[in-house]
Amino acid sequence: LSMIRQLRTDFADNRLELFYQPQLSLATGKIIGAEALLRWKTAEGKFISPAVFIPLAEYSGLIIDIGNWVVDQACQQLNRLAESKFPDVSISVNVSIPQFKRENFVSTVIAIAQSHKVDMSKLELEITENVLMDEPQIIIDALVKLKAEGISIALDDFGTGFSSLSYLQKLPLDRLKVDRAFVSDIAEPGGSIIADTIINLGKQMGLKVIAEGIETIEQEAELKALACDEVQGFYYAKPMPADDFFSCLEKIN
């Protein structure tokens, strides 16, 4: 409980920061986007992982205000990108289930994006398949509305959750993210079967496929052999502050 109180205070005091992890095209080696990832910077300057505090934010309802702030921050960086030499670079933000369940979630996201006049197609929302567990039709309707505004949708952690493949076709998706659980053993004998299958599934559905959690050159080579489109992982870059991400773009693109 005291940690929730601390999170509320620190959020109000601007102690949350969005980091950005580059996403690269395997064909060109250029950065094509970034995933925005929250970090909580304590007064002592320590960073606390969202794996620790996102569940608290969800439980306490704080995730609504934090989530809106995340979209706002990402839109600010999108406008910086639009004015830079890299206007085609996109930004993805993670959205948790309680955010999606709010009646005004869709209109709020659209209002924030419109207030910044961003190119909607450069903003991507990452959802997990678990979002479909309770009321799939409500979620599908919400995604269709976001899509109609031009916002992109990615399915994150694909294959690790509790949803049925039958929903996959009903979702207005742009990208499929191959979870790092299916990348970690990809360079071992027999270790690439699931990644191969997910990549083919995504491509046959007309989606871009991005693999995450790439840590070695061997994993990259295997993903190239499997014709995966895009990659993200510590092998390329860790999540970093916005200014570092722009330096990274200057260096790589």
Residue count, binding to ligand G (CB under 6 A): 22
Convert residues 46-85 into a mask of x (bound to ligand G by CB under 6 A) and - (unbound): ---xxx--x---------------x---------------
Residue closest to Mn ion, measured at CB: 156
Identify the residue among 182, 239, 242, 245 touching ligand G (CB under 6 A): 239
- CA dihedral of 75, 78, 83, 84, whole degrees rounded to 10: 150
Identify the residue among 26, 31, 37, 186 touching ligand G (CB under 6 A): 37
Q: Are 124 and 92 in contact (CB under 8 A)?
A: yes
Closer residue to ligand G in complex, CB, 92/226: 92
Query: Which residue type does 186 have?
Result: I
Cα R_g (the chain), whole angstroms: 18
Q: Does 230 bind Mn ion (CB under 5 A)?
A: no
Q: Does 157 bind Na ion (CB under 5 A)?
A: yes
- CA dihedral of 207, 204, 29, 80, whole degrees rounded to 10: -10
Q: Does 156 bind Mn ion (CB under 5 A)?
A: yes
Identify the residue among 124, 129, 196, 212 touching ligand G (CB under 6 A): 212
Q: Does 1 bind ligand G (CB under 6 A)?
A: no
* Cα separations in angstroms, 50 against 43, 66, 101, 176: 16, 12, 20, 22
Closer residue to ligand G in complex, CB, 57/83: 57
Identify the residue among 7, 24, 31, 38 touching ligand G (CB under 6 A): 38
Stretch that binds Na ion, among 8-16, 56-64, 179-187, 198-206 (CB under 5 A): 179-187
Reading the block at residue 120, the tokens are: 């909607």
Stretch that binds Na ion, among 112-120, 145-153, 178-186, 222-230 (CB under 5 A): 178-186
Q: Are 49 and 16 in contact (CB under 8 A)?
A: no
Identify the residue among 126, 179, 220, 230 touching Mn ion (CB under 5 A): 126
Token pair 């061997």 is found at 218
- CA dihedral of 154, 159, 164, 170, whole degrees rounded to 10: 20
Q: Which residues pair with 4 in a beta bridge?
A: none
Q: Which residues of the chain form beta strands (DSSP E)?
A: 16-25, 31-41, 47-48, 90-94, 123-128, 152-158, 175-178, 208-212, 230-232, 240-241
Closest approach, Cβ 73 to ligand G, in A, equals 9
Closest approach, Cβ 215 to Mn ion, in A, equals 16
**Residues within the interface to ligand G (CB under 6 A):** 21, 37-38, 49-51, 54, 70, 93-96, 156-157, 180, 212-215, 233-234, 239
**Residues within the interface to Mn ion (CB under 5 A):** 94, 126, 156
